[in-house]
Amino acid sequence: MINKVACILMIVLGQTAWSQDRGIINGKISANTSDLGGVYVINAQTEAMTTTDDSGAFSIAAKEGDTLVFSSIQFKENRVLLTADNFSDLHFTVKLSMVMHQLQEVVVRNYNGINATSLGIIPQGQKRYTEAERKLHTATALNAQANAGTMAGGSVSADPLFNFLSGRTAMLKKEVVVEKKEAFMKLLERMFSIDHFVNRLQIPLEYVKGFEYYAVDNDKFTVILNSKNKTSTEFLLAELAVKYKEIIASENK
């Protein structure tokens, strides 16, 4: 029995070491514009980040099964699940769609009070999980009902242990962090326009997205941002803008 457990652990640990090996994938973005530089390319599993050059080319550490997130002010966000073929493709290209800022007409209807809870779909007071949080909860939850029919009182599922040893739990925790940052980014962009960043805070347009990532990395700022107090958020955002512009200036020397 001990030998069998040892063999299982060796196999799992071997898979862990293999799964952590990441190579460099080279690719390019394409769109209906010649302005392809400065698009952020983020590995959702490792949080590694790079930007495209003026031709739209990029290189980033990744492996099969990783998800690359392409994000920029002028393009709609795009997520690509990497396959083995992507690494051997010498012309790996990701198509991005332009964001259309001009609106002909906006119709606003008020549906206050209508949600999943009021409709009885979700019980009142039940905790709501995001997709990444649900995956993490599933991977780490101890299932006391597993094998209940084979042992008195049931037993605890070994899945959480194998997920921990294989590195899956750590990967899912990183996905939760990335998902939360993306949610904060969307909240920040809804609260302040691009004009506010460029003209009010004096952040160069090509650095706006980088500044947003810089801001949501600040725990104090995300707490205030999540409170949706625009005045307090704007005050702290201005302080962070001063520090960020100092970083830009030092890097451009």
**6-10, 115-119, 173-177, 212-216: range with lowest mean pLDDT:** 6-10
pLDDT value at residue 248 = 86
Dist. CA 14–CA 160, nearest whole Å: 17
Dist. CA 178–CA 172, nearest whole Å: 10
Dist. CA 220–CA 24, nearest whole Å: 34
Q: Where residue 19 falls among pLDDT bands split at 50, 70, 90?
A: very low
Dist. CA 37–CA 53, nearest whole Å: 5
Dist. CA 53–CA 135, nearest whole Å: 34
- Bridge partners of 60, per DSSP, are 25
pLDDT value at residue 156 = 44
Secondary element (H or E) of residue 67: strand 67-71
Q: What are the backbone angles phi and psi of residue 124, rounded to the nearest 5°?
A: -60, 130
Question: Using the 8-state DSSP alphabet, how is residue 128 labeled?
Answer: P
State the average pLDDT over residues 33-62.
92
Q: What is the pLDDT of residues 119-176, one digit of tens each?
A: 555 566 655 656 666 655 555 554 444 444 444 444 444 555 555 555 666 676 777 7
pTM equals: 0.40
